[in-house]
Amino acid sequence: MSTRAPAGVTRWQELATIVVLFAASRAALRAAGLPFAFSLDWMWLADPADLQHDLLRTTYYFHAFPPGMNLLTGLLLKAGGPQAPPLALMVFWALGLVLVWSLFYLLRAAGLTSRVALVVATAFSLLPQTLYFEHLYLYETPVAALLCLSLALFHAALTRRSWALWLACFSVCAAIGLTRATFHLVWFGLMLVAALACSGPLPARRLLAAAAAPAMLLLALYAKNLVVFGTFGALTYGPAAFANVTVSRLPAETRSAWIRDGRLSPSAAVSPYASAREYLGPLGSGGPDHEWPEVLTRLDRPSVHAPNFNHWAILDANRRRAHDAWRYVWSQPLAYLSTVARGLHDFFTPTTEWHPRTGTRTSPHHGHRRVLGGYEDGFNQVVHGFPVGPAGLYALLPLAMVWTGVHGSRLRRAADPAARARGALLWMCLLNVAYVVSVSSALTFGESSRYRFQVEPLIWVMGAIAIAKLVDHVRGGPSLDARQRTP
């Protein structure tokens, strides 16, 4: 990837500037005491001891969530041992740098000058949510960085007509799909269809060949889960998340009545976040129907003293939850849509306040807040206080999305290949933002503002270009398109 910079500035100088600014800011934050929260008791992780000493077997039999973070954790523990926390911080800093550089590339590719793009990308790297997630061992920073990188590769492949860059783009897409369940095969297919629609003179068979191996890698996960666990998907915990939008919204008395009438399974009486112990009673089963390995029969993860959410009982319960959730949707469509609307509202609330225990000592951001709490509060008051809280400036996002769609369509009809590539890039930003907003609101409930961070860089791209065009219009000078230098 490269960007054509103004005269006298090379892409390597741009990259060096980004690296220096990023490294200086992180060194300053480290000196100020900003901690890296390397917690390994998240429900989406297997027991750390199993990951360290039996990584492949543990990952193979891990069905609850996609395996990407388990693989990363196992590698960190194997390579670092007692030094795994600082090694993980180095990895997350590297991912943060990938995020900032990819965002800079997208801003340049979309039409901003090098100087403006550098200011915007650097500002993004210093947002409270960026710093909080970069210093928390969670999948948000890896996914945001990889998604931003995939779109940078998408644009680079379009402009260079490079098979190797298409392969790199789809490989990154597969890595995202192996890490975050939101980006499943449907999303991978959308990316492929978009690439076929925008690829121009590149023969479709070459593009399909570039996507084949990454697609097969992602499909292998789905096939393994189907053969071993009877679920064609990247995870088996999805119905539990869907239950939060559906069955869990029922009043307790109504839910109990539906269970008695046979409209819902006994699993509906148990919280989606319950441990395996709480599921065993409602299932009415004395034991598993397979001879599962210990990673599926152990009730707890002893290394972290936390429940084992990869237990076979939860697997069985979630099979029933899927039927329960869809029965609710068909019988209570208006109530379901009301919940989705509430989720959409929550999606645009302050990202740093996503956790249910925000403000307490048990919040995952408690240590971050001790250092940057004042900055976080001021930022949220400004960004989420105007023009209407709690969405704040995000209330203007629909306007930016509409403008992006219209402007991108106009660019796609241009005779200039570079303009068409810019239009395709804007479309891809719009597609991914709309996808994550809709999926997060329709299939999950709670913590949705955290999901927004996955596409936050793309929101900034759309917003920055829209503002630049507005400034051009007000000033009456040369348009952004006229000043564009093709990356």
Would you say residue 473 has pLDDT above 80? no
| Inter-axis angle of helices 140-160 and 68-80, nearest 10 | 110
Q: What is the pLDDT of residue 236?
A: 92
Average pLDDT over residues 202-224: 92
CA angle 154, 156, 159 (to 5 degrees): 110
Would you place residue 465 in the very low, low, confident or very high pLDDT band (cuts 50, 70, 90)? very high
The residue assigned the tokens 């003179």 is 201
- Note the pLDDT tens digit of each residue in 362-379: 999 999 999 999 999 999
Q: What is the pLDDT of residue 1?
A: 40
- Note the pLDDT tens digit of each residue in 228-268: 999 999 999 988 888 888 998 899 899 999 999 989 988 88
Cα 447 to Cα 144, 236, 355, 458: the distances in Å are: 16, 19, 6, 20
Q: What is the pLDDT of residue 2?
A: 39
Joined tokens for residue 190? 């959308």
Closest CA to 138 of 53, 47, 73: 73
CA distance 403 to 381: 26
Residue 396 has what DSSP assignment?
Answer: G
Whether 266 and 282 have beta carbons less than 8 Å apart is answered as: yes
Beta-ladder partners of 37: 136
Average pLDDT, the chain: 90
Question: What residues does each domain of the chain span?
Answer: 11-232+350-483, 247-323
Q: Please tell me which of 190-204, 210-224, 284-298, 333-347 the model is most confident about, judged by mean pLDDT.
A: 210-224
Phi, psi of 307 (to 5 degrees): -60, 155
Element (H, E) at 306: strand 306-307
Would you say residue 487 has pLDDT above 80? no
CA distance 254 to 260: 10
- Note the pLDDT tens digit of each residue in 401-412: 999 999 999 998
Q: What is the pLDDT of residue 289?
A: 61
Supply the pTM of this predicted model: 0.92
Average pLDDT over residues 148-156: 96
Closest CA to 423 of 431, 432, 414: 414
Residue 388 has what DSSP assignment?
Answer: S
**How far, rounded to the nearest angstrom, does the alpha carbon of residue 142 sit from its chain's CA centroid?**
8
Half-sphere exposure of 232 (CA within 13 A, CB side): 3
Q: What is the pLDDT of residue 469?
A: 86
Residue 33 falls in which region: left (phi positive, over 0), alpha (psi -120 to 50) or beta? left
Would you say residue 6 has pLDDT above 50? no
Cα 280 to Cα 6, 229, 276, 305, 315: the distances in Å are: 65, 18, 6, 19, 11
